[in-house]
């Protein structure tokens, strides 16, 4: 059945929208989730895989932590490689015990979809939202197409979790919207490989050949990245070339025989790098969350985690609104989230510009990068700042 009214319309059935739906469901607030893609696409969409402690806690609060706790891989640090040397940043000793968890976005989404379909509110796949009207009224309306027919859904609030190119953001008039953006002069070539990682934690490598990252999705699947020029065609990179380049960029003098475990590469894609923030994150009865409001380069592992923090704040605000009529948290939503967003933007910018080789940078710029990496290696304060940001700043209460 097609619902015609709900308290909260959530546009976007990715991890942010689904997590918000679960948090609202457990708080007794009814919501409808509208997702433009089909279920198979949503559950297979490859994105992030590093969860901050606050994101892990939010998934547990939503009832979606059981499989994550069984299968997720806890990491206590990362390794920085530069100047053919390696330095490990130990998170717990620098942050008072905080860690991160490797658990792929695909698995987060599968867990949340299963829960929502089992006992949550309506979750409509292949529901293409065309427009949101009445954002500045007490009864906004979502216009969408589902199963070949046009429908409307009136609601008290609309939350846009529909990504950078989503429709909900257009409900915020351009006259009140400010945009801040930086586009980087390089991209990532990301690959999935059926090869067990030969490293215990993520490796971030700065080299004269460009940046490289060795990550993982499971004990048998590696997730690997190479810095490439913008506009790169993945077809120009056969498997052997990818493995050879990864080995070269990750090499350190202390381990002359160190190489990645090779296996079939099952997916290749090129990811452009950009930083983007839209302000404010609320207009009338419309709230933006996740990529609909902000984009970060993936170097700092902040994208999914920022989205999760946004919807935790949204859920608390809407729960207060329906529990006791208070709109104080809703009124402060944008400012509350943006303070955390801009810190994450800065950290992601720092990690990106410190580790990547800009095509036009001078030898002086390279020496500055190496000096910064040396500082992280030799200063506990510098290492602690990196560790605190990587493991995630607290979500405002």
333 is catalytic: no
Query: Residue written as tokens 């160190």?
Result: 258
302 is catalytic: yes
Query: Residue written as tokens 């009865």?
Result: 285
Maximum CA extent, the chain: 66
Catalytic residue among 103, 157, 204, 225: 204
Query: Residue written as tokens 């990864």?
Result: 246
> Quick check: 188 and 227 in contact, CB under 8 A?
yes
Using CA atoms, how far apart are residues 81 and 40, in angstroms rounded to an integer?
A: 37
Using CA atoms, how far apart are residues 80 and 203, in angstroms rounded to an integer?
A: 6
DSSP state of 139: S
Catalytic residue among 157, 184, 225, 390: 390
Q: How far is CA 226 from CA 20, 198, 209, in A?
A: 33, 17, 10
Strands (E) in the chain, as ranges, are 5-11, 31-34, 50-52, 73-75, 77-82, 85-90, 100-102, 123-124, 127-133, 141-146, 149-160, 178-193, 203-205, 212-218, 221-228, 265-279, 282-283, 286-288, 294-295
> Quick check: 339 and 396 in contact, CB under 8 A?
yes
Q: How far is CA 237 from CA 136, 186, 206, in A?
A: 49, 16, 20
Using CA atoms, how far apart are residues 395 and 64, in angstroms rounded to an integer?
A: 19
Catalytic residue among 75, 206, 294, 356: 75
Catalytic residue among 110, 157, 298, 333: 298
Tokens of 275: 């930083």
Catalytic residue among 206, 294, 302, 356: 302
The values of phi and psi at residue 151, to 5°, are -140, 160
> Quick check: 2 and 92 in contact, CB under 8 A?
no
294 is catalytic: no
Using CA atoms, how far apart are residues 181 and 40, in angstroms rounded to an integer?
A: 32
> Quick check: 50 and 78 in contact, CB under 8 A?
no
- As annotated, the active-site residues are 75, 204, 298, 302, 390
């Amino acid at each position: 059945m097609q619902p015609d009214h709900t308290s909260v319309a959530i546009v976007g059935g990715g991890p942010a929208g689904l997590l918000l739906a679960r948090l609202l469901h457990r708080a007794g607030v009814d919501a409808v989730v509208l997702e433009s893609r089909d279920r198979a696409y949503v559950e297979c969409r490859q994105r992030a895989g590093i969860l901050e402690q606050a994101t892990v806690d939010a998934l547990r609060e939503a009832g979606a932590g059981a499989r994550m706790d069984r299968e997720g891989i806890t990491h206590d640090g990362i390794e920085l490689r530069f100047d053919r040397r390696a330095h490990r940043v130990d998170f717990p000793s620098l942050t008072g015990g905080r860690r991160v968890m490797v658990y792929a976005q695909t698995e987060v989404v599968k867990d949340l979809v299963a829960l929502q379909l089992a006992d949550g509110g309506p979750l409509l796949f292949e529901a293409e939202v065309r427009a949101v009207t009445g954002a500045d009224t007490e009864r906004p309306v979502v216009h969408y197409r589902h199963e070949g027919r046009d429908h409307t859904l009136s609601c008290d609030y609309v939350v846009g979790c529909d990504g950078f190119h989503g429709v909900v953001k257009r409900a915020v008039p351009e006259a009140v919207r400010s945009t801040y953006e930086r586009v980087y002069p390089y991209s990532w070539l990301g690959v999935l490989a059926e090869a067990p990682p030969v490293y215990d934690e993520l490796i971030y490598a700065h080299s004269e050949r460009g940046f490289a990252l060795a990550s993982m999705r499971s004990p048998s699947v590696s997730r690997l990245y190479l810095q490439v020029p913008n506009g790169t065609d993945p077809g120009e990179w056969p498997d052997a070339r990818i493995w050879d380049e990864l080995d070269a960029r990750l090499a350190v003098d202390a381990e002359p025989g160190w190489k990645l475990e090779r296996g079939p590469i099952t997916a290749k894609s090129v990811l452009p790098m950009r930083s983007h923030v839209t302000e404010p994150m609320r207009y009338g009865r419309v709230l933006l969350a996740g990529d609909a409001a902000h984009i970060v380069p993936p170097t700092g592992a902040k994208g999914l985690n920022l989205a999760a923090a946004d919807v935790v704040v949204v859920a608390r605000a809407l729960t207060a609104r329906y529990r006791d009529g208070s709109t104080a948290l809703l009124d402060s939503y944008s400012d509350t989230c943006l303070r955390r967003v801009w810190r994450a933007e800065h950290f992601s910018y720092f990690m990106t510009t410190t580790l990547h080789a800009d095509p036009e940078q001078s030898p002086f710029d390279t020496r500055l990068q190496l000096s910064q990496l040396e500082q992280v290696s030799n200063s506990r304060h510098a290492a602690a700042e990196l560790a605190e940001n990587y493991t995630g700043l607290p979500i405002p209460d």
